[in-house]
Structure 1
Amino acid sequence: MGTPEHASATLILLRHGLTAVTGSILAGRSPGIDLDERGRLQAEDTARRLAGLHLDAIVTSPLERCRRTAEPLAGALGLEPVVDERFSECDYGTWTGRTLEELKDEPEWPVVQQHPSAARFPGGESLAQVSARAVEAVRDWNARLAAASTTGHPRYLVCAHGDVIKAVAADALGMHLDLFQRIQVDPCSVTAVRYTAARPFLLRLNDVGATADGLAPPPQEEGRHGSGDAVVGGGAGAARP
């Protein structure tokens, strides 16, 4: 099984479902941002997709949109979700609650896009801090669940946020944080990593099920070349269903 910090485990990362502001406003840690009807349907559909899995634990960010997304699956599996603050959304500081369109004019925007390892949101966290706390939490849960597992290789789910999941996926791939904006994580998508004593294996990335969702350009990109900027916070994806 390896040392505790390299314990074997399979981690399923689930981004929260759509809210009324996903992809337009940087919600961050704003209170009271719940799933809208589309997000609730996404959460129920994801619960049906994953209900056949055995999970040793369901862990969630403390924010409401993640807790609501995890509820249908937790109910189907008879598990009580555990809140872990380390999987919370990035603290975007003074960017919180502002539209993504206006944020593009901020002097920090190019740094977030091109040099995220150096990006710190005014009055908030750096992306390096987000990555460090999320990866530390994953290693901690891997070791904790492996120690309690009868098989020695537990499987658990974490419901979190776009930038948090991108950071964990980048770490699993051995990518520098400056490359993590190349990763896309849509609402209610599944990303899975199998950890072993030797190395992690990325099993799934931005999996939205057996559909073509996300393969066409998003509506604002159709008919023209996009800017190439990543959507801070993760964006709305194909806005399913």
Structure 2
Amino acid sequence: MTVTVLMVRHAAHDNVGGFLAGRMEGVRLGPAGRKQAERLAERLRGADIAAIHASPRERCRETAEAIATACGLPAPQVAAELDEIDFGRWSGSTFAELDADPLWRRWNAVRSCCRTPAGESMLDVQQRALRYIEALAAENAGNRVAVVSHADVIKAVVMHVLGLSVDAWPRFDIAPASVTTIIGDDWGAKLITLNDVVS
């Protein structure tokens, strides 16, 4: 039986694009991000979502909580498998600082055979996210579920569905508060929408 997974990127924190937040504590939605999350939640109000799951990061939980409130759902279930990439010592660095690091440049050139300083590769991220989503799909046959996570985690899942290498990550965007829709059944999985951005 078909399951629909709405993969939602968290709404924007105050300095999205300014530095690599990674798994830093305390990176929350600012006023603009909260309004963005509210608009997204209102848009999903009639989407008939059965359950919502979220990364442990505050910005994901806050986005998921807004959706849960609008849809009359219980509190989101938090899952470590949906967490941001563990960027280790890179977390909190500006992108100008990162550009001076040869390992950062290699990571962005060949993610299929490179690890972050903390030891996590893009393939590791893809495997943990897919395991979780596959189990979630098996438990929610015939339903629609929402998963609130991070751009690279969503990209990793999309690349698997499309049969692309993880090195294809720069070829498409996953914007803050966007929805990417995947359906799955016994025949496999199919991408329905990509990076559908709330206005």
Shorter-chain TM band: over 0.9
Q: TM-score, normalising length from structure 1?
A: 0.79
Shift of 1:163: 0.5
Partner of 1:63 in structure 2?
A: 57
Shift of 1:183: 2.1
Aligned residues: 198
Shift of 1:123: 2.4
Higher helix share: 2
Q: Report 1:44-83 matches (<5 A).
A: 44-80=38-74, 81-83=76-78
Overall identity of the aligned pairs, in %: 40
Q: Looking at CA atoms only, which structure, 1 or 2, has the larger radius of gyration?
A: 1
Partner of 1:133 in structure 2?
A: 128
Counterpart selection for 1:166 from 141, 155, 165: 155
Q: Report 1:178-217 matches (<5 A).
A: 178-209=167-198
Q: Output the CA distance in 1 between the equivalents of 2:62 and 2:161.
A: 27
Q: Output the CA distance in 2 between the equivalents of 1:205 and 1:112.
A: 24
**Which runs of no fewer than 5 residues in structure 2 stay unpaired?**
none
Partner of 1:143 in structure 2?
A: 138
**Which runs of no fewer than 5 residues in structure 1 stay unpaired?**
2-7, 147-152, 212-241
Partner of 1:157 in structure 2?
A: 146
Residue type of the alignment partner of 1:177 = V
Q: Output the CA distance in 2 between the equivalents of 1:13 and 1:102.
A: 30
Q: Output the CA distance in 1 between the equivalents of 2:95 and 2:123.
A: 21
Partner of 1:231 in structure 2?
A: none
Instruction: State whether residues 94 and 124 of structure 1, in contact with CA within 8 Å, keep that contact through their aligned partners in structure 2.
Output: no
Higher strand share: 2
Q: TM-score, normalising length from structure 2?
A: 0.95
Partner of 2:164 in structure 1?
A: 175
Partner of 1:17 in structure 2?
A: 11
Q: Output the CA distance in 1 between the equivalents of 2:23 and 2:149.
A: 12
Residue type of the alignment partner of 2:180 = T
Q: Output the CA distance in 2 between the equivalents of 1:104 and 1:82.
A: 36
Shift of 1:113: 2.1
Q: Output the CA distance in 1 between the equivalents of 2:11 and 2:130.
A: 22
Instruction: State whether residues 155 and 174 of structure 2, in contact with CA within 8 Å, keep that contact through their aligned partners in structure 1.
Output: yes
Q: Output the CA distance in 2 between the equivalents of 1:69 and 1:169.
A: 21
Q: Output the CA distance in 2 between the equivalents of 1:123 and 1:196.
A: 35
Partner of 1:84 in structure 2?
A: 79
Instruction: State whether residues 34 and 64 of structure 1, in contact with CA within 8 Å, keep that contact through their aligned partners in structure 2.
Output: yes
Shift of 1:50: 0.8
Secondary structure of residue in 1 paired with 2:140: helix
Instruction: State whether residues 44 and 71 of structure 2, in contact with CA within 8 Å, keep that contact through their aligned partners in structure 1.
Output: no
RMSD in angstroms over aligned alpha carbons?
1.2
Deviations 1:190-211 (Å, cap 9, x if unpaired)? 11101121131111111114x5
